[in-house]
Amino acid sequence: MSIEIDSITLRDSGPVPRTTSSALSSLLARLNTLHVISGTHALGSLVAGLASLGREASATAEGALVREALLSTRIGSNGEALWSVLGMDDASSIFPPSPVLDDLRNDLSLLVAHDLDAALVDIDLIEPAESLGPLREPSRVECIDLVVGMWAYSTEITGIINEVVAATAVDRVRAPDPSDLSGPVLR
């Protein structure tokens, strides 16, 4: 007999509690580490992390339909051709995936935290100018530029992909498959 519930609890997943301080430590560690690893590694881990997220998302109802719809269009075949010819498949396979969603969630939590000022005291940050050197004429970039830019970037991607998926006839209901009746009831 099923028990109906009306609440879900979000808890810490490991020994490190999610606080403003620990989220800030995570961001600082990533920023500091950027000065001592190669750009190839950083980008490769991000790509591998996004691909890992895509595989996980493909196991969800919406993600499975998006994947199936995209694969049925030129995006699927052209993407595969680019991936293979440019060697992205080999390159991305050797980098450990970054936990991109955990990082994003922790970074977002900093933007809405009430106790950020207190956490910002006593941080240990490597001066970027010393290790990077002059890359271009200084042009001030504000945090809000990045946030709005990420919104615009994700809106562009979401709009394009949703348009492609909407134009693709993918069944949201499938009739019983006799060989599948004994399968697990999971997503």
Provide the minimum distance between the beta carbon of 77 and other proteins in the complex, in angstroms, as a whole number: 23
Q: Is 41 in the site for other proteins (CB under 8 A)?
A: yes
Provide the minimum distance between the beta carbon of 148 and other proteins in the complex, in angstroms, as a whole number: 17
Q: Is 4 in the site for other proteins (CB under 8 A)?
A: yes
On whether the CB atoms of residues 30 and 126 are closer than 8 A, the answer is no
- How far apart are the C-alpha atoms of 12 and 126, rounded to whole Å? 29
The residue among 133 and 176 lying less far from other proteins, judged by its C-beta, is 176
- Which 139-178 positions form the footprint of other proteins (CB under 8 A)? 171-178
Q: Is 96 in the site for other proteins (CB under 8 A)?
A: yes
Residues 6+ apart with CB under 8 A from 113: 20, 23, 119
Provide the minimum distance between the beta carbon of 85 and other proteins in the complex, in angstroms, as a whole number: 27
Q: Is 29 in the site for other proteins (CB under 8 A)?
A: yes
Provide the minimum distance between the beta carbon of 137 and other proteins in the complex, in angstroms, as a whole number: 29
Distances (CA, A) of 161 to 1, 67, 70, 101, 167: 41, 10, 8, 20, 10
Residue entry with tokens 């069944």: 171
- How far apart are the C-alpha atoms of 162 and 61, rounded to whole Å? 15
**Among 109, 126, 164, 168, contact with other proteins (rule: CB under 8 A):** 109
Provide the minimum distance between the beta carbon of 115 and other proteins in the complex, in angstroms, as a whole number: 9
The one-letter amino acid code at 35 reads H
Q: Is 105 in the site for other proteins (CB under 8 A)?
A: yes
Q: What angle do CA 114, 118, 122 make, to 5 degrees?
A: 145
- Which 55-84 positions form the footprint of other proteins (CB under 8 A)? 56-57, 59-65
